Structure 1
């Protein structure tokens, strides 16, 4: 025992340069050695959140060799900020008969009270560390929700420019002309039916279009660009897209005017950092202007989503007519079910399927047969258009965007009324019914206006479907949906009757 020495331990994190230095800590600790031999163990630039520190590990090794009789520190949190680590350390100290002394807190570990006081102090030390971490995280999310630049890799197509938001100095993205042209080109190519990310790489290679950052073009990087809302001119359609994906949209829909782009963050509630899963991510409007129209961006983004699911053949419960086909008796959408017959998929009234309030369309509507029928109808319709004009670059129609914003407000108000139905008394139900009737009438008028504005915008976009009908088998599922969406407003089916409302 007499040949043991005192261990003087000091630690300082480089991230806290204003904290007391290791040298000063050791000077304070020397007094507790009381003239006995001592050895200094010092860790500079290491956090106290764990025990992965070289000098600390060396000290533990010397304790196990029974070389140390006493460990002296300037302050408790210099040796540990973790309850678990401290508890494990004290077990080692007791096993090898090592006393522990804190020069500022004056602990005596030879008594139960001293050990209890140590445990209480270490609880507060860990609480302090966790509080600091939470404060840092809260500050990060608070700043991100205001559209501040939060660091990280600068997206292709942009540079940085200093700016001020709410009196706070930050940065925002500004386009780099040559890289911006590359972004516009790749979105333009990918938005066309039948194109792939590989087609973009081959086009860039054949036309000697070099990546401005020096790296070779890759499908992974291109896919990342297609999914990044930092490029989109965010309007009501972008707001509704992210809402439908379960994203936490920070700004109200009124702010989505089709000018600013967006930042997408992991968010404090998200369970994954992968941005293929948009649930619980945070979307906030960015201070810079978008590059790509919402229509083109959504085409590409939807294509990316569908491509992740198109490894298996699209049979089972999918149809490119979903969303277009409705029951001619109740007006509810027809959904696809799967039967164990040679025909497989068939359409069924969603009202009959879920609420049993409709008798259905009257006969079995097999999906393959209806799709074949509609493809023939599309080909006949397209024969009337000998020349299709080139598609103009789409722009956000302010009036159309305003109508979509108002429609979203109405639907949110209707949803809130429906929530109150279950607990409503007779008087409240009467009010809800009257209010619902008025809101529904207003909603229908808005839908008519939106359809009229959308139809006029589609008049110049027929090149999207040029030659598609002749190459139908080559088209992806999302491209077939795009054709249906461009041409068809709604299909009502009742018995043998099929009524098609066209957009052209």
Structure 2
């Protein structure tokens, strides 16, 4: 075999791996010692370092410590090329292999196999690799398009809350409407703060800061909304308040609100008759079609005329549009401090050596009361993203299992349904006797019907809980993207995450807690 004489600033990495199955098969040609010997003979006298994963599977790289260390050294510029006995030592997953070699290309690191002619040191090898990458890119874009279409279809067809960031003043509650089950927003303990904010801000001399001062002076509850209550942000600042004051979620949408959005060129999914002055709105980005407006199942908090006056005032005060997209993490908008419940962001910075790193920023430290705990310092953004991704995979696996179990008869649910029917029948009989009832009987019937309605509501909540646990969710649009996670862009990962996750709580004390919306 020809010996290599190539020399670069970086060292030559020799990667060897043997799985348990290779040992069981007794394949001596793939033994660790045989791989090392052949690779060392090939590299000759040049400076090299051996990275060895013995007894590790080739199905992925995350569970191979030596491989991960080799990739870290490549990022640091310590490696010029990687030598392997066979490409299946490097990775058995073609998609993963393409992703890794594409990353190594950016670091100026080539991969060379002693057994196959396809390598990235030659122009032919790079051409073959690039062709495969094109096919992988096409597949990734196709899957991403299917995910986006599924989200858009769901948002267009129903008035359910689609998950993602928990809205201040509301908390989600699972309900069945028109035969479909989903999340409906119900007022939380902070709903009154939303109403007061709109009522104050419509006045010409009222500013955002004055409203915050008013809340503080009058002890209006916009704080101490703990993470477990899921009522939204735990402290109020001007940026959050500004977003609340322009959100159509809160308006009790009537015909004037319909005309407002229609005049802006938005696609109106519902007829004007649906704008009954009671229900709030969801406004979604519709891709090339712009924005579309859907009447929601939840009730708004703010009268339409008040909401419109606030929008008019904000449009005159607006100085510039902020169209920036945060790409520091695919978890943007979903993370909260596990201690104060306030939003956590991931920022990035560059040190003196030119290396870029990411870190957490807790917005709760900059509010009126401030977070009483230190920033999350032990957990790093990369760790949090890896943990959340693994939890997403586990969640999908649970839903797939639940889908199979949901086909079995559920005697408990049927028993609850029977109880609801009996309660309805008793209510019907009592209501039929009202016309002929005297004052005493009328009072008794009224009291009994009230208690029966409470009993029915409790039974319906019980049934909804059972149904939710057995609900067969269509996981196919999510399963495929999770399999090729590393090949997706940050924005594509974000789009998938918001379909699954309500919020991610992060703290050194409690670690990472993922609250799913599905």
TM-score by length of 1: 0.45
Please say which structure displays the higher CA radius of gyration: 1
TM-score by length of 2: 0.44
